[in-house]
Amino acid sequence: MAITQAKNKAKTRKPTRPAAKATEQNSATLADRGNLYEMFKLRRLAGDLTQQPNESAVTAMRLTTLVAEAFQNIAHSWLQIGQKHWNLNVEGVSKLVNSGSPHEFAAVQTELFRTSMYEIAQDSRALFQKSVDAFGNVRTSFAEAAQERVSAG
């Protein structure tokens, strides 16, 4: 029985001070190695970033140019639509002024309203499609630039 108790004590015994100290030192060394590895990764990343600033700037400039062109094209379309509607309204007012009877005035007004609604719907569709196409091109360019970065890195 005494032998069994001695064996159980040996199993539950806490590590001696030198063993605990050695374990702490090994843990600290491994932690330092982990930190060194992290530092190495960060330095490598920083090196990659400093080696490719020109490439990144060119990519950013190209994508910025595409976005600016897309906005410019859409703004130009808005101006064209505004000019077209202005001309239609001027023609419509001219027809209304030249109408000879209340019946003719009502018919011209109805036709102008119908034409105006049709033109607004058509212009909205065209503008929407132009926007989708422009930003689809930008999205594709962003995806290509990201793929190039992944392939290069």
Q: Could you tell me the pLDDT band of residue 103, with boundaries at 50, 70 and 90?
A: very high
How high is the pLDDT of residue 147?
80
Residue 15: is its pLDDT beyond 70? no
Alpha-helical segments (H) within the chain: 2-12, 17-51, 53-98, 102-152
pTM: 0.54
Average pLDDT value for the chain: 76
Residue 81: predicted pLDDT = 93
Tell me which residue has tokens 């029985």.
Answer: 1
Write the pLDDT tens digit of every residue in 21-70: 655 555 555 455 555 555 556 556 555 555 566 677 777 788 888 888 88
Cα–Cα nearest to 136, from 85, 41, 77, 66: 66
Per-residue pLDDT of 83-101, as tens digits, reads 999 999 999 999 999 998 9
Quote the pLDDT of residue 139. Answer: 83
Cβ-Cβ contacts under 8 Å for 130 (sequence gap 6 or more): 73, 74, 77
Residues with Cβ within 8 Å of residue 48, at least 6 apart in sequence:
153
Q: Where are the domains of the chain?
A: 13-51, 60-153
